[in-house]
C-alpha cells in the first residue's frame, strides 16, 4: 500500500480551474519534488492534501493516506490527522509562528492538541524535538523574533515533526535562506526522512535543490502535472517543452558586453559600522562591529557582487552606502562627494535601490505612476511625471497603461520590474540590488537578469548586487566580493573566484550551493 495516493484532484472557483486532474503516488521514505512556476498549483495541491482550501473552492478527486480517504473525513476527524499524521512546513516561518508565544509553547501545543500529554511532559517533548532539529542551545522561553531565519525555520520543522507524522509537506522551506543555512535545513529534512521513514513532498522552484534531495519529480504547469518520473530521468531526458524551459532558465546567463576600465563612481575606504553593546547588570557589553574596515571601488557600468551568509554584514553595509546609517570610521564617496546621513538630495539621487520584497516596499494605496515617481522629490527640477513614468515602464518591459494600476494587480516578476523602474527613473549612477531575485521563479529570474544586463548596457548604470544565491551572482557580475563577519575576505573577477577560490570560507559557500548535475538537457 502506498503512503499517499492523490487521484484526479481538481479545484475550481466558479468556472475557473485552479487544479485539473492532479494525480500521483508516494511510498514511505520517498521524497517527491513538486516544481513549477508561481501560479502553477504547487501550494494549492499541498493545501488540498491538508484539507485547508477556502470554502469558496470546490474540490473533486480522492486523497488517500495509507488507504484512508482524507477527502471523506469530517473536519473534526481531519483536524486530528493534521499535525499527527500529516505535517506542513510553510515558506515564511515568521508568519507561521505566533510572535506572542515562546517557541517552547508553540511546539508543545502540537503535542497537547493531539495527545493527552500534560503541560510538563509536552514541554519535555518540545525540548527533545528542538534538540533533534539542531536547536540544543536555544531555550524554550525564546520568542520567534529573537531567532535567525534559519533557526525560525527549524522551529517550524520541529512543530511539524513533533508527533512523527507519516507525511511531511515542505513549501519552499529554504527560499529566503543563505546557502549554508539552506544546506543545513536540507540536510535536516533528509535526515528526518531517513530516520523516521516518512514521506516528504518538497515544493520548490529550485531544480538544483530537487536534483540533490528528491527521488521522484512532478512538474506542474497551469494546474496540471505535465511531467513526472525519477529525478535523473526527467532532468537528463525531459519529454515536455515546459520542463526543458525550466532547465534552460535554471542555467541561464544573460548576454553581457565586455567593458573597458571606466571611471570610479563609488569608492569605499576602511568603513567601520558598529552598534552599542547590550545592557548588562554591571554596564554594557562591548560594541558589536557589523562592518570592519571594508574597502572597494565600483566603476561606471560595472556589475559587482557581494555575497556572504546572513549576519555577515551585507545589509548593514548597504544601509551605510545609502546614507541611512552613520559609520564610525572610514569614508564613502559617490562621484567624488562624501555620502553620509547629511548628504544633499543632489548626491542621494545618484544611488538607487531595489529591495528583496517589492510588494513590501510599495504603498498599496498608490498607483504605479505615483510609486515610480516617488524619487522625484530628490530632484530640483523634476520632468513632467506622466511621460517620464511611461518611458521608464517601457524600458522595463511593461505597458504605459500600467501606470494607472495598483501594485496588487501584478505578478511577482512584474512587481520587481516596477521596483527597477522606480530606481531607474532619476537615472542614478549606481543601483544597489538587495536580494532582488531570490524569491522569483527560475524563468522570471532569467527575464529579470536579462533586463538588468540590458539596462546596464543602455544607461551605463553600475550595479552592486547583494545576494546569497551564488549562481545568480556568477551569471550577472563582473567582480565579486565575499563577506564574512563584517570583513571582505576575498574578492576578484567573478569567474576566477568561483573557479579557484583562495579562502576556505568561499569554498564552503560554493560547496553548500545546490547544483544541477552535469549533462542535463537544456
CATH code assigned at 467:
3.40.50.300
3 state SS of 38: coil
Q: What is the pLDDT of residue 149?
A: 79
Q: Assess whether 282 and 230 both reside in one domain.
A: no
Q: What is the pLDDT of residue 256?
A: 77
For 234-258, what is each residue's pLDDT tens digit?
Answer: 999 999 999 999 999 888 888 877 6
Give yes or no for a contact between 519 and 245, defined as CB atoms under 8 angstroms apart.
Answer: no
Q: What is the pLDDT of residue 425?
A: 93
Q: Assess whether 242 and 307 both reside in one domain.
A: no
* Rama region for 242: left / alpha / beta (φ>0; ψ in -120 to 50; rest): alpha
Query: Is 381 part of a structural domain of the chain?
Result: no
Percent of the chain clearing pLDDT 70 (strictly above): 98
Q: Assess whether 233 and 278 both reside in one domain.
A: no
Query: Is 366 part of a structural domain of the chain?
Result: no
* pLDDT at residue 39 tops 90: no
Q: Assess whether 222 and 186 both reside in one domain.
A: yes
Tally the residues of the chain: 522
Q: 99-113 burial string, b = 16+ CB within 10 Å, else e?
A: eeebbbbbbbbbbbb
Q: Assess whether 289 and 200 both reside in one domain.
A: no
* Rama region for 93: left / alpha / beta (φ>0; ψ in -120 to 50; rest): alpha
Which of 211, 229, 251 is the last residue before a domain boundary? 251
* pLDDT at residue 451 tops 90: no
Q: What is the pLDDT of residue 467?
A: 87
Q: What is the pLDDT of residue 522?
A: 52
Q: Assess whether 189 and 289 both reside in one domain.
A: no
Higher pLDDT, 205 or 11: 11
Percent of the chain clearing pLDDT 90 (strictly above): 60
Which set of grid coordinates corresponds to residue 289?
562591529
Residue 55 Cα distances to 52, 221, 518, angstroms: 9, 24, 45
Which of 16-20, 92-96, 132-136, 168-172 comes out lowest in average pLDDT?
92-96
For 274-330, what is each residue's pLDDT tens digit?
Answer: 988 777 767 777 888 899 999 999 999 899 999 998 888 898 999 999 999 899 999
Which of 26-30, 168-172, 286-290, 397-401 comes out lowest in average pLDDT?
286-290
Query: Is 60 part of a structural domain of the chain?
Result: yes
Domains: count for the chain: 2
Which of 224, 251, 278 is the last residue before a domain boundary? 251
Give yes or no for a contact between 119 and 112, defined as CB atoms under 8 angstroms apart.
Answer: yes
Query: Is 444 part of a structural domain of the chain?
Result: yes
Q: Indicate the Cα dihedral angle 487, 492, 497, 501, nearest 10°.
A: -50
Q: Assess whether 149 and 93 both reside in one domain.
A: yes
Which set of grid coordinates corresponds to residue 313?
554584514
The whole-number average pLDDT for the span 354-376 is: 88
Which of 251, 278, 306 is the last residue before a domain boundary? 251
End-to-end CA distance of the chain, in Å? 36
Using 50, 70 and 90 to split pLDDT, how confident is the model at 397?
confident
Query: Is 419 part of a structural domain of the chain?
Result: no
The pTM of this model reads: 0.84
Mean pLDDT in the chain?
A: 90
Query: Is 259 part of a structural domain of the chain?
Result: no
Q: Assess whether 192 and 269 both reside in one domain.
A: no
Fill in the DSSP letter of residue 247.
H
Q: Assess whether 283 and 343 both reside in one domain.
A: yes
Using 50, 70 and 90 to split pLDDT, how confident is the model at 520?
low
For 196-231, what is each residue's pLDDT tens digit?
Answer: 899 999 999 889 999 999 999 999 999 999 999 999
Query: Is 357 part of a structural domain of the chain?
Result: no
Q: Assess whether 223 and 322 both reside in one domain.
A: no
The whole-number average pLDDT for the span 463-473 is: 88
Q: Assess whether 281 and 176 both reside in one domain.
A: no
Backbone angles phi, psi at 242, to 5 degrees: -65, -40
Q: Assess whether 437 and 330 both reside in one domain.
A: yes
Q: What is the pLDDT of residue 129?
A: 92
* pLDDT at residue 159 tops 70: yes
Query: Is 520 part of a structural domain of the chain?
Result: no
Determine the structural domain holding residue 335 and report its residue range.
264-350+428-512
* pLDDT at residue 360 tops 80: no
* pLDDT at residue 509 tops 80: yes
Amino acid at each position: 500500500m502506498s503512503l499517499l495516493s492523490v487521484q484526479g484532484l481538481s479545484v475550481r472557483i466558479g468556472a475557473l480551474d485552479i487544479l485539473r486532474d492532479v494525480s500521483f503516488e508516494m511510498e514511505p521514505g520517498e521524497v517527491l519534488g513538486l516544481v513549477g512556476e508561481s501560479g502553477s498549483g504547487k501550494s494549492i495541491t499541498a493545501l488540498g492534501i491538508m484539507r485547508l482550501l477556502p470554502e469558496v473552492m470546490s474540490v473533486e478527486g480522492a486523497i488517500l493516506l495509507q488507504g484512508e480517504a482524507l477527502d471523506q473525513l469530517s473536519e473534526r476527524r481531519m483536524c486530528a490527522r493534521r499535525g499527527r499524521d500529516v505535517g506542513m512546513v510553510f515558506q515564511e516561518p515568521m508568519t507561521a509562528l505566533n510572535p506572542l508565544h515562546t517557541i517552547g509553547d508553540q511546539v508543545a501545543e502540537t503535542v497537547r492538541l493531539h495527545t493527552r500529554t500534560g503541560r510538563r511532559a509536552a514541554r519535555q517533548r518540545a525540548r527533545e524535538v528542538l534538540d533533534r532539529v539542531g536547536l540544543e542551545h536555544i531555550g524554550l522561553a525564546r520568542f520567534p523574533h529573537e531567532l535567525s531565519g534559519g533557526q525560525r525555520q527549524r522551529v517550524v520543522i520541529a512543530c511539524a515533526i513533533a508527533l512523527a507524522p507519516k507525511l511531511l509537506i515542505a513549501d519552499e522551506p529554504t527560499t529566503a535562506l543563505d546557502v549554508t543555512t539552506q544546506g543545513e535545513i536540507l540536510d535536516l529534512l533528509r535526515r528526518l526522512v531517513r530516520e523516521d521513514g516518512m514521506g516528504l513532498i518538497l515544493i520548490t522552484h529550485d531544480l538544483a535543490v530537487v536534483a540533490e534531495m528528491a527521488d521522484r519529480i512532478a512538474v506542474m504547469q497551469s494546474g496540471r502535472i505535465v511531467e513526472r518520473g525519477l529525478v535523473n530521468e526527467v532532468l537528463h531526458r525531459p519529454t515536455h517543452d515546459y520542463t526543458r524551459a525550466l532547465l534552460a532558465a535554471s542555467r541561464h546567463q544573460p548576454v553581457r558586453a565586455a567593458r573597458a576600465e571606466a571611471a570610479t563612481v563609488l569608492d569605499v575606504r576602511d568603513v567601520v559600522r558598529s552598534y552599542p553593546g547590550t545592557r548588562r547588570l554591571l554596564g554594557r557589553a562591548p560594541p558589536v562591529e557589523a562592518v570592519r574596515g571594508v574597502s572597494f571601488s565600483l566603476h561606471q557600468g560595472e556589475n559587482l557582487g557581494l555575497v556572504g551568509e546572513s549576519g555577515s554584514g551585507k545589509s548593514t553595509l548597504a544601509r551605510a552606502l545609502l546614507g541611512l546609517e552613520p559609520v564610525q570610521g572610514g569614508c564613502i564617496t559617490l562621484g567624488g562627494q562624501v555620502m553620509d546621513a547629511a548628504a544633499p538630495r543632489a548626491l542621494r539621487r545618484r544611488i538607487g535601490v531595489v529591495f528583496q520584497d517589492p510588494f513590501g516596499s510599495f504603498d498599496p494605496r498608490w498607483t504605479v505612476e505615483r510609486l515610480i515617481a516617488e524619487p522625484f522629490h530628490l530632484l530640483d527640477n523634476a520632468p513632467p511625471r506622466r511621460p517620464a513614468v511611461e518611458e521608464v515602464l517601457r524600458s522595463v518591459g511593461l505597458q504605459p497603461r500600467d501606470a494607472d494600476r495598483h501594485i496588487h494587480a501584478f505578478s511577482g516578476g512584474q512587481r520587481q520590474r516596477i521596483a527597477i523602474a522606480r530606481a531607474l527613473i532619476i537615472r542614478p549612477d549606481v543601483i544597489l540590488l538587495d536580494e532582488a531575485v531570490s524569491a522569483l521563479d527560475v524563468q522570471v529570474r532569467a527575464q529579470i537578469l536579462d533586463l538588468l544586463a540590458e539596462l546596464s548596457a543602455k544607461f551605463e548604470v553600475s550595479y552592486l548586487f547583494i545576494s546569497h544565491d551564488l549562481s545568480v551572482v556568477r551569471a550577472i557580475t563582473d567582480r565579486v566580493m565575499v563577506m564574512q563577519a563584517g570583513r571582505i575576505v576575498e574578492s576578484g573577477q567573478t569567474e576566477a573566484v568561483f573557479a579557484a577560490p583562495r579562502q576556505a570560507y568561499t569554498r564552503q559557500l560554493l560547496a553548500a550551493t545546490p547544483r544541477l548535475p552535469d549533462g542535463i538537457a537544456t
